[in-house]
Structure 1
């Protein structure tokens, strides 16, 4: 009888080992894509953009980067959500275009990164921006960069900020961003990927 059970036990062991190996491979890949992110510093930009969400983390970095790069425009995604409160407040207090013509706030539709990429593509065309730097959290760089490349006919550089996450929060983000990255590659936004775009991410 024991001999009859050995093949089944061996199969379970092999299956478990394969699953463990696949999980480890995914975890290492996710770590490189969403945590150990390397971006190329922008040398210049017509506009510095802050993507919506985690504005306590992103807004100040976007402002400092705008000053550093000498960008004419500060562009902010206005979402009216709790995580974007400081950016939304900044937009509300800088809504007078006659005084703050260098601050451009927009509300994406739909209210996600796809909507932001679409809106930014239109703004880039409208303002004739040739170079843009997009600021977002490091876990979001890869997916957002793909969407920007699909929608913006300008040279885009991605700039990352670092959230204060626990291990479990990072793991959750790895899962979310893996699914999101697959989606934006399988179902591109703004039609076919734009040609002639220099994307650094």
Structure 2
């Protein structure tokens, strides 16, 4: 019996070491993909886009960059969710297209990044945008950028904002974004960047 316990103990030790190595490898990769994010320098854009969620973090940066680049359009994902409250309020107060023709608010369908990518493909085709700058949180850059590349027939520059998260919140985001990134690569939203002719719902007064 003692002779059997020793091989089992060795197997457990080896398995634990392998699992630990895999976990550490994933953690390092997730840190680079979702935390230590490097984006391209801003360049001239036809539209600056803020993706939905964390609007307290994203909206002001998007507006300031739009001003710096003198971009013709500010585009906002209007999701009517608690995390997007300030952006939704901005859309509500800038919905008169006769006055605010340079502000485009849209409601993605479905209400997620996949829906935003499809909606932006439609808007890019409708407005004939050639260059778009898209703002989102750093942890979201990789997944959102992948979806934009799959769907939007324009040159897309991804720009990140930096959320103030606790270590636990970052770890949770690492897990969520890893699953999301695997999903969008295994199940692309669009087969190729193309002009989508069905326009998204754009919020405006008659």
- Range into which the TM-score falls when normalised by the shorter chain: over 0.9
SS at match of 1:4: helix
Alignment of 1:112-191 (within 5 A): 112-190=112-190
SS in 2 for 1:56: helix
Cα offset, 1:193, TM superposition? 2.9
What's the counterpart of residue 194 of structure 1? 193
Specify the alignment match of 1:79 in structure 2. 79
Q: CA deviation at 1:43?
A: 1.4
Matching residue of 1:198 = none
List per-residue Cα deviations over 1:58-77 (Å, max 9, x = no partner). 00000001011110000000
The corresponding residue for 2:42 is: 42
Aligned length: 194
| Pairing 1:13-52 to 2, within 5 Å after superposition | 13-52=13-52
How far, CA to CA, are the matches of 1:177 and 1:110 in structure 2? 18
CA distance in 2, matches of 1:133, 1:186: 25
SS of equivalent residue, structure 1 residue 129: coil
Q: Distance in 1 between matches of 2:33 and 2:4?
A: 45
| Residue 57 of structure 1, CA deviation | 0.2
**Aligned pairs for 1:82-121 within 5 A:** 82-121=82-121
Q: Distance in 2 between matches of 1:46 and 1:164?
A: 30
Describe the SS at the equivalent of 2:74.
Answer: strand
TM-score if structure 1 supplies the norm length?
0.95
SS at match of 2:21: helix
How much has 1:41 moved relative to structure 2? 1.2
- How large is the RMSD of aligned CA atoms in angstroms? 0.8
Cα drift, residue 4 of structure 1: 2.0
Q: Distance in 2 between matches of 1:107 and 1:139?
A: 22
Q: Which residue in the other structure is 2:202 paired with?
A: none
| Structure 2 stretches lacking a partner, 5+ long | 195-206
Deviation, 1:42, is 2.0
* Counterpart-to-counterpart distance in 2, 1:32 and 1:25: 11
Q: Aligned partners of 1:94, 1:3: CA distance in 2, in Å? A: 77
